[in-house]
Chain A
């Protein structure tokens, strides 16, 4: 196993760890919609990003890597936008955050 493969496996493992932590965060006892949306967006963006980077390192310099980099750029631009649209729609439909201004996210 070359150095390239080991590094890529480590980076992809970090991505899977991010996804697991995000899923645990989505099952938190305090069911706040916006908190969960934040966590879900983290899963999509950072998890997919790290896994994509790991794949790109693993395959070296090739056409396949170019496609992966294109996908990474699209995810980086569009995923936060999607979270923004969902949050905006939820705010307009009248979802209220459970967390108050002072004590947000410290439970």
Chain B
């Protein structure tokens, strides 16, 4: 039996988080939530338009689903902090995904600035989920800075290349006592399953769902893959502990 994932005091029984920036219509969000069971939806604050109700993405997110605003557009810690504060003022709650990018081709995150922004925002009471290059040392600093989870990239945003950083993510899973959420590069459900099977706590998918010919069906496929990967991981873990117990069955007899 699995226990729910807890981040910032909220419980998540579904370990698939869904991004919205590339969807053909915000009106698909309720159906995506329904088909996938996702309980966390990311939105870019730069796209939150309160002046045009039919374009206000927040109004499409069903009650009970956690809104995770991201700081897309920020090039340094100071800008990320400003966006996070605006997001809270705009009614997005106190979760924030820090995204600090100043290279527009591969959209690689700046780990150093992300660590700074995490420390500042955690002190202000935000539940901070930083998007980073999977780097063990950076992740340790994020723990100290007060991050609520770590979101390493599998491969560049929108690239659909899967877990090209697998070995580096494995180090975070092994060593970091925070939820590890694989974000970016997950191009198909099998990638998501692979991430969960190796022990990631959750997966965030944006482009692959949003640009699918049927985003609602794709969200369901990802959700099932995440669940399958999770069950497989738990079985594997149970197997290992069983093996550990069974490895010295004669110890009592021969002592």
State yes or no: do A and B come from one complex. no
Residues in B lying within 8 Å of A, measured CB to CB: none
